[in-house]
Amino acid sequence: MARNRKNKKGNKKTFGARNDSNAQKGWSELVKENEKWEQYYKDLALIPEGEWDEFKRICQAQLPLTFRITGSRKHAHEVLQLFEDQHLPGLTNVTFEGEEIQAPKRLAWYPENLAWQLDVSKQVIRKNEQFSKMQRFLVVENAVGNISRQEAVSMIPPLVLEVEPHHAVLDMCAAPGSKTAQLIEALHAKNDEPTGFVMANDADARRSHMLVHQLKRLNSANLLVVNHDAQFFPRVKTDDSRRFLKFDRILCDVPCSGDGTMRKNVNVWKDWCTGSGLGLHTVQLNILNRGLNLLKNGGRLVYSTCSLNPIENEAVVAAALRKWGNKIKIINCDDKLPGLIRSRGVSEWPVYDKAFAKKQKGDEGTIESWFAPSAEEASHFNLSNCLRVYPHQQNTGGFFITVFEKMDEEEEQSAKRAGFENNEDINQEKKAKSAEDAPQRQKKEKLPRDANEEPFVYLDPAHEQLQKCWEFYGIDDDFDKSNCLVRNAAGEPTRVIYMTSSSIKKIIQGNEDRLKFIYSGVKLLVAQRSDIDCSWRIQSESLPIVKHHMNQKRVAKANLECLKHLLLESFPGFETMEKLHIDDEFTKKIRALSPGCAFIHVSRGEDKESLFLPVWNGSKCVNLMVCKEDTHELLYRIFKVDSPAKVAAPEKKVGGDRAPQEEEEASQPAESSEAQG
CA dist., res. 493 & res. 525, Å (int):
9
Do 480 and 592 fall within a single domain? no
Domain shared by 168 and 227, yes or no: yes
- How far is Cα 82 from Cα 92, in angstroms, rounded to an integer? 16
Whether 11 is in a domain gets the answer no
562 is in an annotated binding site: no
Crossing angle for the helix pair 644-655 and 628-639, to the nearest 10 degrees: 90
| Cβ atoms of 391 and 397 closer than 8 Å | yes
Q: Does the annotation place 179 within a ligand binding site?
A: yes
Residue 176 assigned as binding residue: yes
CB 255 within 8 A of CB 173: yes
Q: Is 306 a catalytic residue?
A: yes
Rounded-to-integer distance, Cα 613 and Cα 625, Å: 8
Q: What is the rounded distance in angstroms from the CA atom of residue 379 to the CA atom of residue 479?
A: 54
Shared domain check, 171 and 104? no
- The response to whether 178 counts as a known ligand-binding position is yes
Q: Does 10 reside within a domain?
A: no
Instruction: Indicate the residue among 515, 540, 565 that finishes a domain.
Output: 540
508 and 556 inside one domain: no
Confirm whether residue 175 is marked as ligand binding. yes
Q: Of all residues in the chain, what percent are helix, strand and coil, respectively (each to 5)?
A: 40, 20, 40
Domain boundary among 520, 540, 560: 540
**Cα distance from N-terminal residue to C-terminal residue, the chain:** 23
State whether 194 and 340 are in the same domain.
Answer: yes
Residues 140 and 119 in one domain: yes
User: Residue 202 annotated as binding?
Assistant: yes
**Residue 246 known to bind ligand:** no
As a whole number of angstroms, the distance between CA 449 and CA 455 comes to 17
How many other β-carbons are positioned within 10 Å of the β-carbon of residue 438?
A: 9
DSSP 478: T
In this structure, the answer to whether residues 391 and 471 fall within a common structural domain is no
Average pLDDT per 10 consecutive residues for the chain, totaling 677 residues: 49 36 53 95 96 97 93 84 92 86 94 93 83 90 90 98 97 96 94 94 93 90 97 90 91 97 95 96 98 97 98 98 96 96 98 96 96 96 98 97 87 48 47 55 57 86 94 95 94 95 96 94 92 92 94 95 95 95 95 95 88 94 93 92 50 33 38 36
User: What are the beta bridge partners of residue 224?
Assistant: 199, 520
C-alpha–C-alpha distance, residues 630 and 143, integer Å: 8
Select from 335, 334, 321, 412 the least CA-distant residue to 372: 321
176 is a domain residue: yes
CB count in 10 Å sphere of residue 602: 20
Determine, yes or no, domain membership for 443: no
Query: Which residue of the set 59, 252, 256, 306 is catalytic?
Result: 306
Does a structural domain hold residue 23? no
* Residues facing 388 on adjacent strands: 343, 400
Angstrom distances, CA of residue 252 to CA of 161, 180, 606: 11, 11, 40
Entry field: residues in the chain: 677
- Looking at the fold, whether 143 and 159 belong to one and the same domain comes out as no
Report the CATH number at residue 280. 3.40.50.150
CA distance 174 to 252: 9
State the Cα–Cα distance between residues 386 and 321, nearest whole angstrom: 13
Would you state the pLDDT for residue 538? Answer: 96
Contact in structure between 616 and 623 (CB atoms under 8 Å): yes
Is-contact 523 457, C-beta < 8 A?
no
- Residue 660 dihedral angles phi and psi, to the nearest 5°: -60, 155
- Name the helix (H) or strand (E) containing 520: strand 517-520
| Residue 652, pLDDT score | 36
Distance CA 575, CA 619 (A): 11
Query: Does 100 reside within a domain?
Result: yes
State the amino acid at position 424 in one-letter form.
Answer: E
Packed helices 129-143 and 628-639: angle between N→C axes, nearest 10 degrees: 120
The residue among 305, 194, 213, 206 whose CA lies nearest residue 252 is: 305
Which of 410, 359, 386 has its CA nearest to residue 305? 386
| Structural domain containing residue 375 | 155-361+368-437
CA distances from 673 to 210, 228, 496, 527, 625 (A): 19, 27, 8, 11, 19
One domain, residues 311 and 285: yes
Inter-CA distances, 454 with 228, 341, 496, Å: 18, 47, 13
As a whole number of angstroms, the distance between CA 234 and CA 355 comes to 37
Single-letter code of the amino acid located at 200: A
Statement to judge: residues 579 and 642 lie in one domain: yes
Instruction: Give the chain's domain count.
Output: 4
State how far Cα 251 lies from the chain centre.
12
Closest by Cα among 488, 521, 627, 610 to 567: 627
In a domain, 21, yes or no: no
Whole-number pLDDT of residue 621: 95
Going by C-beta distance under 8 Å and a sequence separation of 6 or more, which residues neighbour residue 8? none
The answer to whether 222 and 503 are in contact (CB under 8 A) is yes
Residue 672 pLDDT: 34
What DSSP string runs through 327-351?
GEEEPP-TTSSTT---EE--S---E
Which of 620, 622, 625 has the alpha carbon at shortest distance from 669? 625
Using DSSP's 3-state secondary structure scheme, residue 145 falls into: coil
- Do 388 and 467 reside in the same domain of the chain? no
Boundary-marking domain end, from 403, 437, 471: 437
Please give the Cα distance from 396 to 411 (Å, whole number). Answer: 37
Do 645 and 605 lie in one domain? The reply is yes
Cβ distance 386 to 347 under 8 Å?
Answer: no
Is 174 labelled a binding residue? yes
Distance CA 486, CA 491 (A): 6
CA-to-CA distance for 424 and 322, rounded, in angstroms? 9
CB atoms within 10 A of CB 556: 23
What are the φ and ψ backbone dihedral angles of 590, each rounded to 5 degrees? -65, -35
- Backbone φ and ψ for 488, nearest 5 degrees, come out as -150, 155
Amino acid at 674: E
Q: What is the pLDDT of residue 339?
A: 97
What is residue 651's predicted lDDT score, i.e. its pLDDT? 38
Residue 421 domain-assigned (yes or no)? yes
Sign, Cα dihedral of 400, 64, 86, 126: positive
Give 536's strand partners. Answer: 527
Q: Is 229 annotated as a binding residue?
A: yes
